[in-house]
Amino acid sequence: MAVRFKPLDIRNQEFSKKFQGYRQEDVRTFLSQVAEFVDNILQENRSLRNEIDALHKRISSLERQATTIKEAMEEQAKRTIDEAKTKADEILGDAENRAQSVLREMQLDVDTKREQLYELAGIYTSYKGEMLRILEGLINSVDEFENNKQSRTARKAIGELAVRFQPVKLLDPMFVVKHTVHRRMRKYFTAESQEETE
């Protein structure tokens, strides 16, 4: 174990006296210088120890602050992540709900349109059939009217001619038809004359 000396101990150190020893004044001067050197070293050592203690305290404080900041940052990051997850879940849930709602509305709209289409198709088919029946009836009525009109007009004209030419010669109605009526219309008269003959 090293012996510790204090500057005061060095200055007050006494030596035993011997004949023909060192000069006391030189020894005292040297001891004073050694004591002053040791005193400076001890003061510097105390100063360094104080600085080291201050640095240790500062380091401990910084470590505590770093730990606190790290914990706070981790807590903040965890809160932020949790909030982001919660918000994302809410957004996703809202989006899914909106999508389901839109899908239901579109399905209802499609069903409604399909029903309307079937109804319109039925109405169209019904109207088409009715219109075809009406047109067919109109065409038959026009044909019948034309047949009757042409027949009546031709008969009347032949009758008038027959009256005028009766004193001269009795006219054959079919002869008149063949020579005065257009060939497309002759079939009506020939058909009627056959019915009358029968």
Q: How many CA atoms lie within 13 A of 118 on its CB side?
A: 5
What pTM, to 2 d.p., does this model score?
0.36
Q: Assign 28 a pLDDT band (cuts: 50, 70, 90).
A: confident
Q: Give the pLDDT confidence score for residue 17 in this predicted structure.
A: 67
Phi–psi pair at 48, nearest 5 degrees: -65, -40
What is the percent of the chain with per-residue pLDDT over 70, rounded to a whole number?
A: 64
Domain ranges of the chain: 24-197
Q: Cα-atom radius of gyration of the chain, to the nearest Å?
A: 69
Q: Give the pLDDT confidence score for residue 82 in this predicted structure.
A: 92
Q: Give the pLDDT confidence score for residue 2 in this predicted structure.
A: 47
Q: Where are the alpha helices (DSSP H) in the chain?
A: 7-11, 24-165, 173-180, 186-197
Mean residue pLDDT across the chain: 77
Q: How crowded is residue 158: how many other Cβ atoms within 10 Å of its Cβ? A: 20
Average pLDDT for 102-130: 85
Give the separation between CA 35 and CA 15, rounded to whole angstroms.
16
